[in-house]
Amino acid sequence: MNREKLAWLTSVVLVAILAFQIPGTLAHRDDDYNFIRTLLDIHRQVSVNYVEPVDEQKLQQAAIEGMLGQLDPYTVYIPPANQEQFENMLEGNFKGVGIQLEQNAKGEAEVITPIEDSPAFRAGVQAGSGAAGPGAGAAGMRPPLAIRHQYPAVEGSCRHR
């Protein structure tokens, strides 16, 4: 008999907890649906009535960035296509020579620091040294992005001046 009372009491408590949780959950769901409905209405109005054709992808990305931009500079949306690259960055895995570059006053790439235990570190690259792409001479100094895009990373390779 004692077990039966405990079972009934437990059932009543669980039903009471659910009864108090459901209305809050439904209200929150209604708020979510109202928010989405507003976004969809705005999207349709812009798509139909804007003077020029709109790029749907840009509108969606801008809506996401606008929402997250109200929080702080560190909260960002990572699209599924960039998820693997982002996770590799978080894990500290990299491919390449292992240096951080910045652009100096002359517009040339300059090594900020070699990453510890990277090919560049083992080759003796120092902070402040110039960085050029493979085979570049003294006149071959380039901005960091030009080097990065022109010479894709090859694991284990290292050149420095």
* Interval 3-49: pLDDT, tens: 777 777 787 777 777 766 666 666 667 788 888 999 899 999 998 99
pLDDT at 51: 93
Q: What residues pair up with 114 in beta bridges, in sequence order?
A: 99
pLDDT at 94: 56
Find the radius of gyration of the CA atoms of the chain. 28
pLDDT at 138: 41
pTM: 0.41
55 pLDDT above the threshold of 60: yes
* Interval 80-121: pLDDT, tens: 888 888 887 777 655 677 777 777 777 777 888 888 888 888
The residue behind tokens 């960035």 is 65
If you ran DSSP here, which 8-state letter would residue 71 be given?
T
134 pLDDT above the threshold of 90: no
| CA dist list (Å): 44 to 34, 39, 51, 52 | 15, 9, 13, 14
Q: Lowest mean pLDDT of 63-67, 82-86, 91-95, 146-150, name the range.
A: 146-150
